[in-house]
């Protein structure tokens, strides 16, 4: 008889090992974050506050050497600072020493970061009270608002067609998105994908790709696709479709991550396989949230389709852009009113349907 | 011997050391009850036995076979021979009682047939029989979440009966039920244990139920076994050791 191999590691050792590994990992994360924070502070101090605010330069001088030097300084300071275990990042990752110095550095540095960010934001947006209240500006605004309330009804039927086109673009994008979104959402739900390495890798890679796609605005997608497939409703539809898939896959997979674990446990305890578990324990729990997200997304897509039209995605947005380019504000007025009406109706309908579902 | 657990440790990723070297042997036909305070590791132990969670070290032997490290098809096969009932019933709320019971059979149904929900006449009849056993066959067509707690737990028992289990694990099956319903649900476990000879391992909180149904008792405290014996041997001193000095026994009938 062959002796059975014993897998006996002392449990306390496992606990200690995990703790050490985690601490090391947190330390590296803290160093990276500290370097970034110092770098950020120095850059903002130099470029926004010193050059722009104090020297009031029009053209900011730029040289890679300078930035390289600032970066080097940040790396050295960051590493030294993290090693003292009193930095903000150490506190964030839970490896800081628990003493007065930590408390003070964390408080002062957070306050400092908040302030320079706020000031830099102020400077970058060129915040100016003067512009808002200049008489020239106010006159322009008056002209447009005046026109908006005297809409030109002559283009009503054209605008109606255009807005119907917009609604259909949104509807089609939403409908076509459903099957791929469903499929993707299962592969990007953490609780379904964590039990083995391959599954987790797939989960991770898909998440990154989807995050990337989602981080690009539908407007940019529309520009890309209008070059790719030509300006018009088709480009607008594909742009919306891509973005809808990426963002709904996230919502769906979050719904999957939030389901009750109990039924999953119960079904897997019967010896069911992965597909059976998903079908019986996961699907019934997510059907309604999915439906509700999809309807809500249609509503959002109508609004987005309008915006996308501005860059040549077809529909009412394209029409709006044309009249706006000609400065025909009365026609623009009609179009804006129609958009507002449709958006309001869609919002209302989708809210009602979602209420009825639950 | 149907089940043998040897020096079992479980350390959760959070670092909690939930089981610290637990060893038990269970003979076929026993009604073993595990007691212990909240957090003592009772649920963890049951879940390690049917491998819903992975033990950190130690060994689990079921029907003489080491199942601690088996995987895939082999693991599902073993799981399908061990029934499990939970405190929260864990039924599929939006589906019918009958469908819920049939899910107990998933381990031996083909994936395709179970997805299109095409079940053999025999499977359906078996499900109805098992509902009969727990006395609620008239509810077969109703939605699972329309039933009362006690009825839902009986559906869960019927579901586990579909597995023709050699071993039935029950994790505080009556903890969310009122005393009268508790007793009637426990009664079905006793019936299954006596009539079908199914070995039962059950986590319980109330000593009166323990005395009435258990053939043997194990007490856990902070992940270790501190008592093993017959139910009527748990006296005042043992009670205080298990549940702490402050505890006082409440009677439930
Ligand atoms: N999934 C988990 N992750 C991390 N720790 C857990 C997990 N499940 C349980 N624990 C911890 O393990 C210990 C034992 O928990 P367990 O659920 O086994 O206790 P129990 O005896 O069943 O308690 P109860 O009577 O409350 O159900 C507890 O300290 C608990 O916090
Ligand atoms: Mg428990």
Instruction: Give the closest-approach CA distance of B174 to chain A in angstroms.
Output: 16
Given a cut of 50, whether residue B170 has pLDDT beyond it is yes
Ligand 1 atom closest to B220 (CA): 21
Which CATH number fits the domain A147-357, given the four candidates 1.10.3720.10, 3.20.20.70, 3.40.50.300, 3.60.21.10? 1.10.3720.10
pLDDT number for residue B249: 65
Cβ B52–A268 below 8 Å, yes or no? yes
Nearest CA in chain B to A264: B90
Model pLDDT, residue A244: 94
What is the residue-averaged pLDDT of chain A? Answer: 86
From B13, B78, B92, residue closest to A263, measured CB to CB = B92
Q: Nearest CA to B202 among B162, B167, B159, B152?
A: B167
Instruction: Please return the burial class of A113, using the count of CB atoms within 10 Å of its CB with bins 0-12, 13-18 and 19+.
Output: middle
Q: Nearest Cα to A353, choosing from A275, A274, A293, A309?
A: A293
Name the residue with the closest Cα to ligand 1, atom 8: B44
Cα–Cα distance, A326 to A308 (Å, whole number): 19
Query: Is any ligand 1 atom within 6 A of the Cβ of residue B173?
Result: no
- Residue spans of the domains in chain A: they are 12-127, 147-357
Query: What CA–CA distance (Å, rounded) separates A341 from A117?
Result: 39
Q: How far apart are CA A83 and CA A26, in angstroms?
A: 12
C-beta atoms of B79 and A271 within 8 A? yes
Which position has the token pair 């050059």? A51
Query: Cα(A233) to centroid of ligand 2, in Å?
Result: 57
Q: How confident is the model at residue B251 (pLDDT cuts 50, 70, 90)?
A: low
CA distance B64 to B74: 15
* Residue B221 DSSP SS3: strand
Ligand 1 touching residue B204 (CB < 6 A): no
Ligand 1 near B43 CB (within 6 A) = yes
With H, G, I as helix, E, B as strand and everything else as coil, classify residue A103: helix
Tell me the per-residue pLDDT of A296-323, one tens digit each, with 9 for 90 and over: 888 889 888 888 888 877 888 889 888 8
Could you tell which of B9, B16, B52, B242 is best to mutate to test the pocket of ligand 1, judged by most ligand atoms within 8 Å of the CB? B16
Predicted confidence at residue A358, as pLDDT, reads 66
pLDDT digits over A184-202, tens only? 998 998 888 887 888 889 9
Collapsing DSSP to helix, strand or coil, A92 comes out as helix
- Model confidence at A1, pLDDT cuts 50, 70, 90, reads very low
Q: Tell me the C-alpha distance between A299 and A347, whole Å.
A: 6
b/e code A324-356 from CB counts within 10 Å (16+ = b): beeeebbbbbbbbebbeebeeebeeebeeebee
Summarize pLDDT for B84-125 with one digit per residue, the tens. Answer: 999 999 999 989 999 999 999 999 999 999 988 889 999 999
Q: Which ranges constitute the DSSP H helices of B142-235?
A: 149-161, 179-195, 207-213
pLDDT tens digits, residue range B174-210?
998 988 889 999 999 999 999 999 999 999 988 888 9
**Contacts of range B190-198, beta carbons closer than 8 Å, 24 or more positions apart:** B190/B31, B191/B133, B192/B133, B192/B157, B192/B161, B192/B168, B193/B29, B193/B31, B193/B168, B197/B28, B197/B29, B198/B83, B198/B165, B198/B166, B198/B167, B198/B168
Instruction: Measure the CA–CA gap between B110 and B116, rounded to whole angstroms.
Output: 10
Instruction: Count the neighbouring beta carbons within 10 Å of the beta carbon of residue A36.
Output: 13
Burial of A139 (0-12, 13-18, 19+ CB in 10 A): exposed
Query: Average pLDDT, stretch B146-159?
Result: 94
With cut-offs at 50, 70 and 90, classify the pLDDT of residue A226.
Answer: confident
Assign A2 a pLDDT band (cuts: 50, 70, 90). Answer: very low
Q: How far is the CA of B91 from the centre of ligand 2 (A)?
A: 18
- Which residues is A205 bridged to in the sheet? none
Q: What is the pLDDT of residue A94?
A: 85
Q: Calculate how close chain B gets to A103, using CA atoms only, in Å.
A: 27
| Chain A residues within 8 Å of chain B (Cβ atoms) | 4, 7-9, 11, 14-15, 18-19, 260, 262-263, 265-273, 275-276, 279-281, 284-285, 287
Separation CA B1–CA A38 (nearest Å): 65
Report how far ligand 2's centroid is from the alpha carbon of B45 (Å). Answer: 9
Lowest mean pLDDT among A15-29, A46-60, B16-30: A46-60
In 3D space, the residue among B86, B45, B51, B85 whose CA is nearest the CA of residue B70 turns out to be: B51
Distance B40 CA to ligand 1 centre (A): 7
- Residue B26 phi, psi (nearest 5): -125, 125
The helices-and-strands tally (H runs, E runs) of chain A is: 16, 0
């Amino acid at each position: 008889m062959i002796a059975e191999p014993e897998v006996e590691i002392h449990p306390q050792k496992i606990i200690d090992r995990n703790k050490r590994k985690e601490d090391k990992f947190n330390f590296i994360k803290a160093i990276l974050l500290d370097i970034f924070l110092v770098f950020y502070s120095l850059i903002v101090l130099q470029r926004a506050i010193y050059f722009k605010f104090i020297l009031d330069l029009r053209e900011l001088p730029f040289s890679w050497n300078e930035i390289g030097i600032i970066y080097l300084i940040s790396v050295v300071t960051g590493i030294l600072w993290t090693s003292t275990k009193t930095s903000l990042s150490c506190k964030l990752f839970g490896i800081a020493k628990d003493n007065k110095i930590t408390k003070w550095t964390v408080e002062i540095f957070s306050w400092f970061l908040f302030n320079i960010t706020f000031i830099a934001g102020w400077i970058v947006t060129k915040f100016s009270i003067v512009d808002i209240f200049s008489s020239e500006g106010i006159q322009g605004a008056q002209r447009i608002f005046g026109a908006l309330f005297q809409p030109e009804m002559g283009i009503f039927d054209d605008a109606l067609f255009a807005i119907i086109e917009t609604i259909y673009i949104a509807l089609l994008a939403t409908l076509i998105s459903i099957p791929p979104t469903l499929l993707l959402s299962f592969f990007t739900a953490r609780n379904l994908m964590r039990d083995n390495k391959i599954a987790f890798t797939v989960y991770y890679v898909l998440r990154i790709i989807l995050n990337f796609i989602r981080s690009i605005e539908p407007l940019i997608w529309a520009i890309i696709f209008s070059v790719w497939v030509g300006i018009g409703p088709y480009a607008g539809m594909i742009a919306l479709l891509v973005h809808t898939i990426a963002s709904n896959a996230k919502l769906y997979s979050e719904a999957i991550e939030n389901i009750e674990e109990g039924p999953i446990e119960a079904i897997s305890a019967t010896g069911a396989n992965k597909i059976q578990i998903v079908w019986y324990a996961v699907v019934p729990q997510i059907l309604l949230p999915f439906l509700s997200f999809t309807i809500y997304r249609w509503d959002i897509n109508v609004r987005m389709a309008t915006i996308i039209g501005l860059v040549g995605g077809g529909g009412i947005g394209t029409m709006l852009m044309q009249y706006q380019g000609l400065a025909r504000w009365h026609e623009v007025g009609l179009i804006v009113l129609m958009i507002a009406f449709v958006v309001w109706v869609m919002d209302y309908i989708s809210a009602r349907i979602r209420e009825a579902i639950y | 011997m149907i089940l043998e657990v040897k020096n079992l440790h479980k350390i959760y990723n959070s670092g909690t050391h939930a089981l610290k070297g637990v060893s038990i042997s269970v003979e076929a036909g026993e009604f073993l009850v595990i007691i212990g305070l909240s957090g003592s590791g009772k649920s963890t132990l049951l879940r390690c036995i049917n491998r819903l969670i992975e033990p950190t070290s130690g060994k689990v032997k079921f029907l003489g076979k080491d199942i601690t490290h088996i995987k895939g098809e082999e693991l599902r096969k073993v799981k399908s021979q061990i029934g499990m009932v939970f405190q929260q019933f864990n039924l599929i709320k939006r589906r019918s009682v009958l469908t819920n019971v049939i899910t107990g059979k998933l381990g031996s149904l083909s994936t395709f047939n179970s997805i299109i929900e095409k079940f053999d006449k025999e499977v359906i009849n078996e499900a109805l029989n098992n509902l009969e056993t727990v006395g609620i066959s008239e509810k077969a067509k109703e939605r699972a979440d329309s039933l009362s707690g006690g009825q839902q737990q009986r559906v869960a028992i019927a579901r586990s009966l579909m597995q023709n289990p050699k071993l039935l694990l029950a994790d505080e099956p009556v903890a969310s039920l009122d005393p009268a319903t508790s007793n009637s649900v426990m009664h079905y476990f006793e019936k299954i244990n006596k009539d079908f000879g199914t070995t039962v391992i059950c986590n319980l909180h109330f000593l009166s139920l323990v005395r009435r149904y258990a053939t043997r008792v194990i007490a856990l405290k902070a992940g270790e076994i501190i008592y093993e014996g017959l139910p009527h041997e748990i006296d005042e001193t043992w009670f205080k050791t298990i549940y702490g000095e402050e505890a006082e026994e409440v009677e439930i009938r």
